[in-house]
Amino acid sequence: MSSNDIKDDQGNTAELSLIALGQKLQAMAQTGLTFTKDRYDIERYTELRDIAAQFMAQQFSADKLHFAEEFIKQQGYATPKVDTRAVVLREGKILMVKEADDKLWSLPGGWADVGDRPSDAVCREVVEETGLVVRVERLLGVWDRNLHGHPPYPWHVYKLIFFCKELGGTLQLSEDSLDIDFFDPQKLPPLSLTRIVPIEIESSLDIIKNNKETWFD
């Protein structure tokens, strides 16, 4: 399989999307600028970064300056970002959070911070977003955000989904959440697809119910 190939949910090979190609351009420029000492290579990688910003702006119908500024902030060897999400069950229902920015629902979670263990990151996000104290029971899946129907996004993201056991606390809203509730998995509310998609929830619940192996891309 070539470097420009990926596999979809059915395991079929497909060409990288234009967004994924833009992500690769940005990553190549960032990594090149991190390691090169040659002034001509610095000029080339800086130009490549500018091309990546222009390319992404076209894909998102947005201002090139926005992407240029975001790309300049990124330094060091380019790697995917890490998003952690929690599956918390109560009497067969799944915990969901209504996000303030798009007014749609997601599993509680968010970005892992530098210095966090992944299990600590997801537990912190749950208590911050919902008020519930949880403990990680197991890792359910490692998902490549590019492959499963999420809306386009400038950054390449790995999503870590954990099964978490409720230990205590009480449900309470945060600045980032408009509502919190437990839902029947067969009657989920409208999902914040930039954060979670149905296949990720369905597969996670199937893994828990049938004690299957961890999913990974």
Tens digit of pLDDT for each residue in 32-46?
999 999 999 999 999
Instruction: Work out the pLDDT band at 17, boundaries 50, 70, 90.
Output: confident
Each domain of the chain, given as residue ranges in start order, spans 5-73, 81-216
How do beta strands 93-99 and 81-90 pair? antiparallel
124 closest CA partner among 137, 138, 134, 115:
134
Residue closest to 27 by CA, chosen among 59, 74, 63, 67: 74
Q: Which residues pair with 71 in a beta bridge?
A: none
Q: How confident is the model at residue 16 (pLDDT cuts 50, 70, 90)?
A: low
pLDDT tens for residues 145-185? 999 999 999 999 999 999 999 999 999 998 888 999 999 99
Which pair of structure tokens corresponds to residue 164?
């978490």
Class of domain 81-216: alpha beta
pLDDT at 10: 42
